Amino acid sequence: MKLLDLQDLHVATEDGVKLVDGVDLVIAQGEALGLVGESGSGKSLTALALLGLVRAPLDARVTRLAIAGQEMRDADETSWRRLRGRSVALVFQDSTTALNPVRTIGSLLVETICRHQRISKREARARALDRLRDVGLQPHHADAYPHLLSGGMRQRAMLALALANRPRLLVADEPTTALDATIQLQILHLLRRESRDRALLLITHDLGVASELCDRIAVLYHGRVREIGSAARLLSTPRHPYTRALLDLVPRFDMEASIPTPIPGSPPAPGEQIQGCSYRLRCPRATEQCLERPTLEGDADYKIACWNPLND
Amino acid sequence: MTEILAAHDVAVEFTHDGQTLQAVRGIDLTLDEGETLALVGESGSGKSTLALALLGVHQLARGKVTFRGDELASVEPHIFRKHVQPVLQDPYASLDPRWRVARSIAEPLHALKFGNIEARVASLLDAVGLAAEFASYLPNALSGGQRQRVALARALAPEPSVLIADEPLSALDMSVQAQILTLLADLQRTSRIALLLIAHDLTLVQRVAQRVAVLYLGRVVEQGPAARTLAAPLHPYTAALIAATPSLARTAADAERLVLPGEPPSPLAPPPGCEFHPRCPIARDICRTERPLLVEHAPGRKAACHFAGEITRSSDISS
Ligand SMILES: Nc1ncnc2c1ncn2[C@@H]1O[C@H](COP(=O)(O)OP(=O)(O)OP(=O)(O)O)[C@@H](O)[C@H]1O
Ligand SMILES: Nc1ncnc2c1ncn2[C@@H]1O[C@H](COP(=O)(O)OP(=O)(O)OP(=O)(O)O)[C@@H](O)[C@H]1O
Ligand SMILES: [Mg+2]
Ligand SMILES: [Mg+2]
């Protein structure tokens, strides 16, 4: 069963600047999909769109958006509110917008749990403490206000909040960036456990994390998916030159320690119009043909948008 | 080597509802001109608190902070602010939501009577890989990584001598990270800027830091040259951190074995003896009763462990 079916997502500014430009994402039950791509490529906006949280002055449009079987394309705020936190939940990239500063972590958790489940306050409180334990926090953290927690603790509190009602689709936007390696490992296990019979969309810039947790990976560049396929295939034999470049930059411990060379050039400026493939100007394989925009093509298992892919 | 910023037996406490939490419990650190010192450690171990103490934000329960040998209280605030710049862990908190990017970056420059502020802002934006268009953006229209780079540009604006950067690259993809690292390396070469880098990504630490200090529950448990410390750690917690670092080669099954047993300790009720003993794979009786001191085990290398060096290869931790 598809827990996420997103077709043709567009997010644009009032002035018509395209920030997300036709993204399709499908996630089946039991599946974890990784979304990777450069800073500013539209990952967080995609995540927000999946929860109906793209706000004016931005505008989001889809051809289809179904979450856990529910059609949400034309849903109003009331239906979104019923869905959010129960069928789909988001771990925000920043904790400041997600955690109300004047509420304790425990009361936020209890409120979220009670909004969607008919249980007593006491039961909800017990469940809240369980969720805190799941993310490696302690019972006394329930009484803490967000600003009294460390950065990594706040990040885990957000995760506990998102997992409070065991959503069928969890969207996690860089959920481990503030965590040290041992706690990150613990959280990755938790995410794997939680997504086993549900679904996970994991946004990350850490391909090591994506490879460990995700069944499939989608590579986003400048608002468009450039390559999507099984994690094993993408990481071992990437075909899009951008995916290859990202992989070449993954640090390894055994490597002679030095600062790697960034991908030449810079990502398009906001509103910049580039004819054809917008990676063309940074791509070592670009040809005349790239002046025409390649479409994302392939089958259900694997798709690529490139005229001159590698490993052919 | 010239010392520029130092912590001497620094302790920071927070009191809430009659309970005292010792977030930083007696830390000695020095930062020299032109060097990068990485601060790593468990979430909640006191890294950000120590950084804020070094910036003079937190009141100290004990100890002192010195800038060029002078105690912080005796340094002119405007001099300190020009020379010691922070990049806070939460870039959302460090930017005024009502200010456009250009104004945020320019703000520290006005007080310093910088010449052409506009040109300086433009070159800073370019240096952190942001197109000129972003100058007119408000923070809420920036992506996570863009915001983090604006916070960094702002900190670099007054040409500080010390940058205290709390996870400054955590939201950046590898290509932008590489670009920022090159920028920082250039600054270090040309203007001998000292960098205190709080990071959890050990592959990053290995690439850019000369020295590393590992924190656990408010104390330094290991300290030494970055390359040697990461290649052959002395403290089992350092070994665990290294082993847990994700890599493309690691399988899910490998990772399963690497999880540290037990729960992170509570700073409200630290365990007796060595604070790491409840989770340590090599703990013995003495570790449960006697707290090991941070002592030198090899030239320049210190560790607080009764059995320092027993686990050196990270693979040992998983067996
Ligand atoms: N309200 C807005 N107005 C104009 N542009 C916006 C707005 N919100 C976001 N953007 C732009 O949309 C682009 C995509 O942003 P998004 O937050 O989705 O990036 P991201 O892929 O999550 O990046 P990061 O990895 O840095 O978090 C960015 O260039 C950003 O500047
Ligand atoms: N203002 C405060 N009031 C009370 N407690 C605080 C305050 N700031 C931090 N703490 C507590 O001090 C401890 C250390 O926090 P700190 O933010 O220094 O950790 P950290 O090492 O930076 O962790 P992370 O890697 O998760 O950011 C934590 O237990 C935290 O809850
Ligand atoms: Mg983002
Ligand atoms: Mg911190």
> How many angstroms separate the CA atoms of B319 and B311, rounded?
11
Ligand 2 in contact with B58 (CB < 6 A)?
no
Q: From ligand 4's centre to the CA of B64, what distance in Å?
A: 21
User: CA B73 → CA B33, B49, B66, B67, B79, distances in Å?
Assistant: 21, 18, 9, 10, 12
pLDDT tens-digit map of A56-92: 999 999 999 999 999 999 999 999 999 999 999 999 9
Ligand 1 site, residue B146, Cβ cutoff 6 A: yes
Are B130 and B34 found together in one domain?
Answer: yes
Residue B264 confidence (pLDDT) above 70: yes
> Could you tell me which of A20, A40, A35 has the C-alpha nearest to residue A267?
A40
Residues B195 and B257 in one domain: no
Query: pLDDT band at residue B314, thresholds of 50, 70 and 90?
Result: very low
- Domains of chain A are 31-57+76-87+169-304 (3.40.50.300), 96-166 (no CATH)
Question: Which of B49, B92, B176 shows the shortest C-beta gap to A39?
Answer: B176
Same domain, B182 and B247: no
Domain assignment of residue B225, yes or no: no
Chain A (132-151) residues lying within 8 Å, Cβ to Cβ, of chain B: 133, 136, 138, 140, 143, 148-151
Q: Which atom of ligand 1 is nearest to the CA of B146?
A: 26
Ligand 4 centroid – CA B55 distance (Å)? 14
CATH of the domain at B120: 3.40.50.300
B161 touches chain A (CB under 8 A): no
* Same domain as B160, residue B305: no
What integer pLDDT is reported at residue B319 of this predicted model? 37
Whole-model pTM: value is 0.95
Predicted ipTM? 0.94
Q: Identify whether B214 is part of a domain.
A: no
Is the CB of residue B242 less than 8 Å away from at least one CB of chain A? yes
Task: Find the mean pLDDT for residues B76-98.
Answer: 90
Is B73 a member of any domain?
A: yes
Q: What is the pLDDT of residues B216-260, one digit of tens each?
A: 999 999 999 999 999 999 999 999 999 888 876 666 666 666 677
The answer to whether the CB of B89 is under 6 A from ligand 2 is yes
Is the confidence at residue A256, as pLDDT, over 70?
no
If you measure CA to CA, which chain B residue comes closest to A187?
Answer: B259
User: Are B26 and B150 found together in one domain?
Assistant: yes
Q: Is the pLDDT of residue B317 over 70?
A: no
B123 is in which domain, residue-wise?
A: 3-209
Predicted local distance difference test score (pLDDT) of residue B290: 97
Are residues B125 and B237 located together in one domain of the fold?
no
- B window 117-136, beta carbon within 8 A of A: 129, 131-134
With beta carbons less than 8 A apart as the criterion, state whether A192 and A141 touch: no
In a domain, B296, yes or no: yes
Which residue matches tokens 């927000």? A48
Query: pLDDT of B193-209, one tens digit each?
Result: 999 999 999 999 998 99
Q: CA–CA separation, A12 vs A9, rounded Å?
A: 10
Give the gap in angstroms from C-alpha B113 to the nearest C-alpha of chain A. Answer: 31
User: Two tokens at A274?
Assistant: 């580039």
Any domain includes B287: yes
The 10s digit of each residue's pLDDT in A40-58 is 999 999 999 999 999 999 9
* Distance in angstroms (rounded) separating the CA atoms of residues B175 and B131: 16
Which atom of ligand 1 is the closest one to the Cα of B148? 26
**Which of B154, B174, B209 finishes a domain?**
B209
Q: Residue B220 domain-assigned? A: no
| Same domain flag for B171 and B262 | no
Q: Tens digit of pLDDT for each residue in A194-223?
A: 988 999 999 999 998 999 899 999 999 999
B177, B209, B241 — which closes off a domain? B209
Instruction: Indicate if the pLDDT at residue A302 is higher than 80.
Output: yes
Shared domain check, B205 and B239: no
| B194 in the same domain as B265 | no
Residue/partner pairs of A173-176 with CB below 8 Å, 24 or more apart: A173/A43, A173/A44, A173/A47, A173/A90, A173/A91, A173/A92, A173/A93, A173/A203, A173/B144, A174/A93, A174/A203, A174/A204, A174/A205, A174/B144, A174/B171, A175/A91, A175/A202, A176/A204, A176/A206, A176/A209
Strands A303-304 and A59-61: unpaired
**Within this chain, do residues B262 and B116 fall inside the same structural domain, yes or no?**
no
**Does residue A297 surpass a pLDDT of 60?**
yes
* Maximum CA extent, chain A: 67
Ligand 2, atom 5: closest residue by C-alpha: A148
- Whether B241 and B197 map to the same domain: the answer is no
**Domain-located, residue B298:** yes
Whether pLDDT at A119 is above 80: yes
Q: How many other C-beta atoms can be found within 10 angstroms of the C-beta atom of residue A6?
A: 23
Number of domains, chain B: 2
Bigger pLDDT: B248 vs A276: A276
> Which residues in chain A touch residue B243, judged by CB atoms under 8 angstroms apart?
181
**Strand order, beta sheet including B62-67:** B19-32, B3-16, B62-67, B70-71
Same domain (yes/no): B55, B199: yes
Q: Determine, yes or no, domain membership for B145.
A: yes
Question: Taking residues A147-153, what's their average pLDDT?
Answer: 93
Q: Is residue B305 very low, low, confident or very high in pLDDT (cuts 50, 70, 90)?
A: very high
- Cβ distance of B173 and A181 shorter than 8 Å: no
Report pLDDT digits (tens) over B71-83.
999 999 999 999 9
